[in-house]
Amino acid sequence: MTENNILKDFFSKDEPRNGMTIFLTFLVAVVIYHASVFWFVLKDDIQSQFDLENYTIDFEENSFVYEDSRVVNDDERVTLEFSAPNEMFESHNGFGILFVDISYDETSGELQDRCDTVSVDLTPTGVSAVWGHENNVLSAMNSDCETMSLVLYVFPNYNGTSLSVAGNDKQFWVNEWMDSSHGQGVFELDVEVSVNNPPGSVLPTVSDSGEEVNVSWNAVFFDAIVE
């Protein structure tokens, strides 16, 4: 006759109960052991296992400067090229920012001859850089012989200032700031000169026909120091 309650069969007086009792006691003991280790012995370690480690990332900068100059004739457009040397990529974590300074003087030597108008444009090429960065200055123009400065942020999220980050490990953050693919290739700077004659001059001998433009390429490389 089948009992409706199986527990009566499991624990009936006719059946040996030692094995079952030992088994169930063992299960309960292990569960209690687990609970005590979890909530008492390893409690702090378990609860702090996902606490995030804080790191400060500082950048040590090294620049590579390359000077170039070119005589640009009136209404002429000239393209100057620059590429950072491989040794810089090999010896540093990354190429951070490219600064380009463009300077010129009025060289006609004529009295009251005004500075010529010079416009410069750092045109996007296939080089990996943050061409759309909000702080980039990719073009400029002036007619007062002042030095023009262009800026291109090359390494994503790099602006030269220290950072505080949390989580992961030291090596992870070093790897985050190590990538030689950014800035590899040829940058192109378009320079255009428009000659301005002295006011009231009608003599052809008083005007000049072009200008010498000096370009200083300053490639800022960095090494990330994670502490």
Partner 1 sequence: MEETNLLFIGAILSIALGGLSLRLVRRNENLAWNEAIAAHILCLMFITKGIQNAATGYFNEEVLSTDGLVWQFWLEIAFAMDYIFAASICSIALLYPVPFLRNIKQVKIGFSIIAGFIVFRLILDVVGLNFTALHIPGFVYYSSSLLWGTVYIKFRLAPREKRTDATRNIALLAGLFLTLVLGHVWMWWPGLILQSEYFFFIDLGGGSFTSTLWDFMWTSGYSIGIAAGLAIVSIEVYQAIKGDPNKLLYIIAPYFALGLIGYSIYSTGSDTGFVLGEGKGEVLELWSIFTTNLHFTIARPIIAMYILLKFGLFDINEKTKPMAKIMSIILIVVATSAILELIQSVIPINQMITAALLGIIIAFGIGWEEKSFHTLVSNPADLRKGVDKKWFPEIDIPRKYIHRIDWACLIYCLVALLVSFIIWQMDILVNIAIERGA
Output the smallest distance, CB 96 to partner 1, in A: 25
Output the smallest distance, CB 179 to partner 1, in A: 17
Contact between 178 and partner 1 by CB under 8 A: the answer reads no
Q: What are phi and psi of 217, to 5 degrees?
A: -95, 125
Task: Give dist(CA 161, CA 135) in Å, integer.
Answer: 14
Q: Which stretch binds partner 1 (CB under 8 A): 9-17, 54-62, 85-93, 181-189?
A: 9-17
Nearest CA-CA partner of 195 in 213, 179, 214, 216: 213
Closer by beta carbon to partner 1, 21 or else 69: 21
Residue 158, amino acid: Y
Closer by beta carbon to partner 1, 7 or else 111: 7
Record the tokens describing residue 170, joined without a space: 């030291």
Output the smallest distance, CB 172 to partner 1, in A: 8
Output the smallest distance, CB 120 to partner 1, in A: 38
Three-state DSSP state, 163: strand
Closer by beta carbon to partner 1, 36 or else 56: 36
Interacting positions 45-84 with partner 1 (CB under 8 A): 45-47, 49-50
Record the tokens describing residue 206, joined without a space: 């008083």
Pairing of strands 54-73, 163-166: antiparallel
Interacting positions 11-40 with partner 1 (CB under 8 A): 15-16, 19-20, 23-24, 26-27, 29-31, 33-35, 37-39
Record the tokens describing residue 23, joined without a space: 């088994």
Q: What is the DSSP string of 5-49?
A: -HHHHHT-TTS--HHHHHHHHHHHHHHHHHHHIIIIISHHHHHHT
Among 13, 42, 211, 218, interactor with partner 1 by CB under 8 A: 42
Q: What are phi and psi of 162, to 5 degrees?
A: -70, 155
Closer by beta carbon to partner 1, 41 or else 141: 41
**Where do contacts with partner 1 occur on this chain (CB under 8 A)?**
1-6, 9-10, 15-16, 19-20, 23-24, 26-27, 29-31, 33-35, 37-39, 41-42, 45-47, 49-50
